[in-house]
Every structure is written in structure tokens, then in C-alpha cells.
Amino acid sequence: MSATFFLTWLAGTLLPLGALWLVWRLALRGERCFGYNRALLLLAPVLATMLPLLPRPDLPLWLSNPAMSAVAAKTGVAVLLPVVQVGAAAGPAIDWSIWTWLGVVYLAGVALGFTRLAWQTGRLWKLAHHLPREVRPGYVLAYTGGRLPTSSFGQVVFWDETAPLTPAEASAVLAHELAHVQQRHTRDVLWLEAWRVVLWPNPFSHLLLPALRLTHELLADQAAATAETLEAHAAPYPTLLARLAARQLGGPAYSTLLQPFHFSFTLTRIAMLQNQIPVRRWKQWLLLPLLGGMFLVACQITSALGQVVPRPPPPPVLTDLPELRSGGGQKALLWAISSRVVYPSGVLADQQQTGQLVVQFKVGADGHVRDAQVLRSLAPAYDAAVLAAVRQLPVLKPARQHGQAIEQTLTLPLEFAARPARWRVAE
């Protein structure tokens, strides 16, 4: 997989991920369909990464890359060869283009993100095993002594025994944290943390996690408020939530992987506890037309970003493509063409160009090269030099179909850099 294709796919995730987040933020955030919202946020990165990879329907040429439309119209059933760098040094070499550098930066960010995630997870695991612990049915209670706020991670509930809570209030807080444990919210957080690392250049990947954590808190609040753990004379659960959240200001910090009771969005949580409006189902059905529209738009965006040549009718099934008599496959044939390019005198100073030139030629059943033509021009001098190089090719091994030699049309893109490593100039 080339760096260009991969980064084009990564850019293609921007629109679907942003659209899914906006649906949650504008339509579903105020609804009490917490389980639906949780599933949407967990599936959002999967949908966003799969949409750009789905097979695209045949698009009219005006919807595809306009720079390659003319090429596509002429290629017919030609075999499109890989892009070759003209004038590069002999032997394989890495093309350190801007795409390659962007790929290196992306991979470095992924490595750094996973290292950070592993360090945070290991730190919490180690802390959970070094604190005083009490094993209870279905969970472990770890006493923090005020070092961490009351929170949860996996099956462990970090309990701040120094917090001034009445027995009824402590029971309500514990019910809230046990809802996180029983519904496996830590697994959700680690899932989205991993996706945030993979999609770190996408800004919406960083907005999904706060949205999910708010949804987790609303689910846990709902479980705690309906558990009837507060005594009749105790303060209602929303009042308890507001009082403890206010007291937590300036308190001990916590890891982003924890599920703390004193989470932000306190006013939103209290408002949702008071909200008795039935869920408006039509907002949930918005997702279906949204996904269909995003797929159609993604077809155009990926085509525009990715130097996509509209697919012509499938060529005949070939046993072998044309190659040099000495063998070496496509790589040797590409090198034979690029190494034969001879530039007219004065081209270095007066006509230096950068960009891609596309040439097409036929290799007959007898192996002779003929009908060379330029499909995408760079400059007259460059066109003439490439055509001369193609016409100087020796007799090749012809393409074969079912063991029989046949004529085959080849289309070759040649990439010209500003100062190729080796330029031969005609005397």
C-alpha cells in the first residue's frame, strides 16, 4: 500500500467521522437514548474508515479526476504500469516525496500515541495492585487515601475513603461506579483511545472520546438514580451530584482512562436526570440517509484526492506482460525506458519542468514497439525525449494470453523531479 493511497484514505475519513459526530452533537446529545448514542459513538470510527474503502460505483468522467479524464478516454484496455521516476539513480530507491514524509510523520504519531496509551494503562494497573484492596463479588475496591478521586477502571473501583459522605451518599456513589464496571465502560474508552491514535490527524477522532464519556456518565447516573440507594431523608441524587462536583474543584487529578464520579458536564447530567421527554425516534433514523449521502460524497472526494483513473473495461486475462528478452519483469522494463531518456541541449536551463508525463505504446505479438504517443504532455522537449526512449527499446517478449503471444497496449506515467539524479543531454 503506497503512502499516497493510505493518506488519501485517511483524508477520506474526515467527512464521515465529522458528520457522525455532528449527528450526535446536534440531534442526539439531548435525547435519553443513551444506549443508542453509545453504540453510535463506538461504531463511528469503524464506519468512517470503511466508507472510503467501499467499491465506488461507476462515475461519469466529469465526477472523476479531471486531469486524468482525457487519459482514461484514450487508454481503452491498456495496462497501466507503475509510475517511474525519470533520471533516478540505478537500482531501487525510496522516493522521499511529500507523501512519504507525511507517511513518516503519521507513523511516528501512531507509535507515540500507542506508547502513551500503554504507559497509562500499565500505570493504572500497577496502582490498582499496590493500593489496599478489598475483593467483592464482581469488582475490586481499592482505597486511594485521597490520592485519586472515586473512579473506576476495568473491574477496579478506586474509592476515596477520605471524602465526607454519609452512608446513603456513599451507597449512591458506589452504585454509580458499579454501573461503569458492570457495563464495561473501560473497554469502550480503550477502544476509542486506540482509534484516536490510529486517526490522530482527524480532529473529530479527538471529539468522540469526550462524547462517549458523557454518555457513560449519563448511563451510570441513570443506573444510580433508579437504584433507590438514597434514604428518604437524604438529598436527591441530582443534588448530591452537584454538591460533590463543586467540592471536587481543585481536588486530585485523575487519568484520562478512569471513570471518575466527579466528571465534567455536571449541569448536563443534572438536566438529563430531570428530563422526562420521550425519545424522538425520528432523530435516530437520521443515521440511514446520512450514511447513504456520505457514501456518494466520499466517492467524489476520494476520486479528487487520489489521482484516480476511472476504470476502463477489464483487459484480457494475461499470463505474462511484455518484458525485456533478458527478463526482469516490469521493473527492468521501466528502468530500460527511463535510462534511455536523453534531453535536448538547453533543457536544463531553459525548459526545466516538474510533473507527470503519460506515454502509451503498443508491443506487438512479434515483440516490436510501435504507435508510441503522449497522452499527458509536460513540455515539447520532454515529450520528444520520452517518445525517443520508447522507440529505442529492443525487441521485447510479447504479452501472452492462454499461452499465445498477443499485442498489448501499455500506459506508463513518468514523474519528472526538479533536478533528477542523472540527466543525459544530447550533444
| Domain coordinates in residue numbering, the chain | 3-297, 329-425
Q: What is the CA radius of gyration of the chain?
A: 31
From first to last of its 427 residues, the chain has per-residue pLDDT tens of 456 677 778 888 888 899 899 888 888 888 888 899 999 999 999 998 988 777 655 444 333 444 444 444 444 456 667 666 665 444 444 445 676 788 889 999 999 999 999 999 998 888 888 899 899 999 999 998 888 888 889 899 998 888 888 887 788 888 888 999 999 999 999 999 999 999 999 999 999 999 999 899 888 888 877 765 544 445 566 666 666 665 554 444 455 666 555 555 655 665 565 566 666 766 666 666 776 676 666 665 555 544 444 444 555 555 678 888 888 888 888 888 888 887 665 555 445 677 788 999 999 999 999 999 999 888 888 888 899 999 999 999 998 887 788 898 988 888 876 554 444 444 4
CB-based contact 109:199 (threshold 8 Å) = no
Backbone angles phi, psi at 188, to 5 degrees: -60, -45
Tell me the C-alpha distance between 321 and 315, whole Å: 12
CB-based contact 387:372 (threshold 8 Å) = yes
Tell me the C-alpha distance between 54 and 203, whole Å: 23
Output 372-377 pairs: Cβ under 8 A, ≥24 positions apart: 375/70, 375/71, 375/74, 375/75, 375/411, 376/67, 376/68, 376/70, 376/71, 376/413
Residue 292 CA to its chain's centroid (Å): 19
What percentage of the chain's residues is helix, strand, coil (to nearest 5)? 50, 15, 35
The per-residue pLDDT for 248 is 55
Q: Tell me the per-residue pLDDT of 108-126, one tens digit each, with 9 for 90 and over.
A: 999 999 999 999 999 888 8
Residue 298 CA to its chain's centroid (Å): 13
Residues 6+ apart with CB under 8 A from 139: 155, 156, 157, 178, 181
CB-based contact 235:71 (threshold 8 Å) = no
Tell me the C-alpha distance between 21 and 205, whole Å: 9
Tell me the CATH class for 329-425: alpha beta
From the number of C-beta atoms within 10 Å of its C-beta (0-12, 13-18, 19+), residue 298 rates as buried
Residues 6+ apart with CB under 8 A from 344: 381, 384, 385, 425, 426
Tell me the C-alpha distance between 74 and 173, whole Å: 71
The per-residue pLDDT for 62 is 36
Tell me the C-alpha distance between 377 and 129, whole Å: 68
